[in-house]
Amino acid sequence: MKTLESWECNHNDVVIIGVALVGRFIDKFVRRPFVLSAVGLVAIVACLAAFPSGAIAAPIYAYDNLDAAQIWDAGDRINTGYRGRAQGFVANISGSLRTAVFGLDNLNGTTGVLNSALYNVQGTGPYGIGSQVGSTVVFSTSELTGIYTNVDVTSLGWEMVSGNKYAVALWSDGSTWNNPEGSGGGVRWRQGSSNSDNIAVFNNWNVVVDNWEVWENPTTGFSVGLSEQVVPAVPEPSTYAMALTGLACGGYMMFRRRRAA
């Protein structure tokens, strides 16, 4: 699988080629001013509708174990109903969390609902999952459209105290989970970036009937980040393409008017 760096390189090439093709299309086939205006207006409106406010992600400074380059899942995948994994860590700040960011891959078109919650972690090693902090956030596998999935937890009471131990848990909703391969495939939680605050990862075969068990792996763990800011989604490449189309049409219109004058 391509790393984030290689994707960015290829994306730049695609943008350059796309601009050239748009310019050639406009020059050859779309010469009428009203057609140019219509195409440019539609592209710009569509772009504004798809472009989130503040496209550049806010810093993940509450806890950052994200890693775009790694794809290993540090164990098993979330492949069956009610299957759960959790990343344990020591908090280095105190405050209310507003965004949880997960590095997840849907391997085979699995559909259904994912749940995530923040838990206290007990003990000094071996560790154990304790009481839940705040409420559970729910999101769909249809939201797993990029390397990272941002989830808003602003109103859920995810509060941390510096120096305390916590775990971000992620599990599937068995009533909605549909994995076309049964126990194969599923949703893979990417490997993390070896944050020094990691303490353990946890596994749960069935969150309805089983307890969380500790699987020691403090070096890497799972790709997850927590922020006290709202982290907007990064636009898809198609959004940039629409913006470039609108700008190209507008620029060509100005060029024609100047040449005519």
Q: What is the pLDDT of residue 257?
A: 58
Distance from C-alpha of 261 to C-alpha of 253, rounded to nearest angstrom: 12
* The predicted structure's pLDDT at residue 258: 59
Name the CATH code of domain 63-227 (choices 3.30.70, 3.40.50, 1.20.120, 2.60.120): 2.60.120
Contact at 8 Å (CB) between 106 and 143?
A: no
Distance of CA 70 to the CA centre of its chain: 14
CA dist 97 and 150 (Å) reads 13
The 10s digit of each residue's pLDDT in 187-198 is: 999 999 889 999
Cβ neighbours for 20, distance < 8 A, ≥ 6 positions apart: none
Tell me the pLDDT tens digit for each residue of 209-252.
999 999 876 778 899 999 998 775 555 455 555 556 555 555 55
- Summarize pLDDT for 17-61 with one digit per residue, the tens: 555 555 565 555 555 555 555 555 555 555 544 444 333 344 567
Residue pair 88/127 in contact (Cβ under 8 Å)? The answer is yes
Q: What is the pLDDT of residue 162?
A: 95
pLDDT on residue 125: 80
pTM of the model: 0.69
- The domain ranges of the chain are 4-51+235-260, 63-227
